[in-house]
Amino acid sequence: MNTIPNIPKNERKRIVIVGGGFAGLKLARKLMKSHFQVVLFDKNNYHQFQPLFYQVATAGLEPSAISFPLRKIFQAQQHLHFRVATVDRIEPGTQEIFTNIGKIDYDYLVLAMGATTNYFGNKGIAEHAVPMKSLSEALQLRNTILTHFEKALSASQLEDRKTLMNIVVVGGGPTGVELAGAIAEMRNVILPKDYPELDFSQMEVSLLEAGPKVLNGYSEASSVKAEAYLEKLGVNVQTAAMVADYDGQAVTLKDGRTLNSRTVIWAAGVKANEIGGIPAEAYGRARRLIVDRQNRIKGVENIFAIGDLAYMETEKYPQAHPQVAQVALQQASLLHRNLKHMEDHKPLREFRYTDKGSLATVGRNLAVADLPFLHFQGFIAWVLWLFVHLMSIVGVKNRLFVFINWAWSYFTYDQSLRLLINPKEDEPVTEPKATPAEA
């Protein structure tokens, strides 16, 4: 395989970063003014703000509002090179990385590819359910929901119409809770105006959680309040409800019950993205890579893993850190310092996670907040959620667009992005596949 052209080898040590998510982007930006040459790979040419995927899926935000071109971030950076590529494998012995556009050697390699949907080996769910781990999948979900409402208008049988309208969200974590709440609000306020011929009292929004409560990992008060908020919006919340199978028409639970729906959204679990060349003993739970307190991968030299990919056990987190943005950002910041310490032959620092709290929104004026020393719910938590997420989006223009969309939706009780966009304009409305469409 040929070496990737136009990335000159110079006297600077080369750091290769795989993944432009929260962790990879944070590290690359920290290294822009360093004495390293930095090469960043990502399969997309943009950074995605994952916490707001559900708002794209429910027509609350346009995709461009929560994505930002990576090349714009790194303009005028002479020693930072970005390439759109997929990484196939690593050769730790020769310190080379092989991609679909060629190979490149490295002095230090940082893996920050994040996680993908985990179907836990269930082929039926993998084939028929709709995931939401990328911008293209969020758009696919929007297409699926709108297509099924268009089909419901033409359904002659009541049961067929209800099956097309019903939506089941599997997974009671923050993503599932926020998605179920947003869909319920669409059903209650927006969709009846778009589809006055349909009886939305027949539409059921269900949230299925295999555990004993929603928002597992949050405080008991926040979990109870979130479930109450969902029920207030008309969501059918079922805990201790483990999904056994889904055939595209009906969800079957372990206890034998079924729920009819053509739209099942899978938000029940994630697993780490994998890459060839990493030794088998380096993999931990959910295929995350076992790392030490400096994020060095077990069994290899000069290769690090940060963010959702990293599995680091500590006394406080014996089952590893949660797969949230704050962990990724803090690990990237520490690795930036440790890379400099390695060059200066200084002792490396250990990673210690500072939990800044957890937020989840359920709907308009409804949210829960678990801060380190304070738990509260309601309007204030909702405002805090808005502020934190708005300020976390990359790009001032994107923040402005998101704020305008949120303000418009809040004061008008409406959204203007309910667009059914097929891959080709001349194609009729057809049943979307469960696999991601091209964005």
DSSP three-state, residue 166: coil
- Separation between Cα atoms, residue 331 and residue 282, nearest integer Å: 18
Cα–Cα–Cα angle for 92, 98, 104, nearest 5°?
80
Phi and psi, residue 290, nearest 5°: -70, 125
* Residue listed under structure tokens 């985990």: 118
The CATH architecture annotation of domain 123-268+358-412 reads: 3-Layer(bba) Sandwich (3.50)
Instruction: Tell me whether the CATH fold assigned to 14-43+85-117+271-343 matches the one assigned to 123-268+358-412.
Output: yes
**Residue-by-residue DSSP string for 4-62:** PTT----SSPEEEEE--SHHHHHHHHHTTTSSSEEEEEESSSEEE-GGGHHHHHTTSS-
Q: Provide the angle, in degrees to the nearest 10, between the axes of the packed helices 22-30 and 325-343.
A: 30
CB atoms within 10 A of CB 403: 14
What is the residue-level pLDDT of the chain in tens, covering all 439 positions?
Answer: 779 889 988 899 999 999 999 999 999 999 998 999 999 999 999 999 999 999 999 999 999 999 999 999 999 898 999 999 999 999 999 999 999 999 999 999 999 999 999 999 899 999 999 999 999 999 999 999 999 999 999 999 999 999 999 999 999 999 999 999 999 999 999 999 999 999 999 999 999 999 999 999 899 999 999 999 999 999 999 999 999 999 999 999 999 999 999 999 999 989 999 999 999 999 999 899 999 999 999 999 999 999 999 999 999 999 999 999 999 999 999 999 999 999 999 999 999 999 999 999 999 999 999 999 899 999 999 999 999 999 999 988 899 999 998 998 888 888 777 888 776 654 444 444 444 433 3
**pLDDT attached to residue 200:** 94
- Separation between Cα atoms, residue 1 and residue 21, nearest integer Å: 27
DSSP three-state, residue 359: strand
pTM over 0.75: yes
Is there a contact between 47 and 68 (Cβ–Cβ < 8 Å)? yes
* Active-site residue flag, 91: no
* Per annotation, catalytic residue among 137, 178, 204, 209: 178
Domains in the chain: boundaries:
14-43+85-117+271-343, 123-268+358-412
Q: Which option is the CATH number for 14-43+85-117+271-343: 3.40.50.300, 1.20.120.450, 3.40.190.10, 3.50.50.60?
A: 3.50.50.60
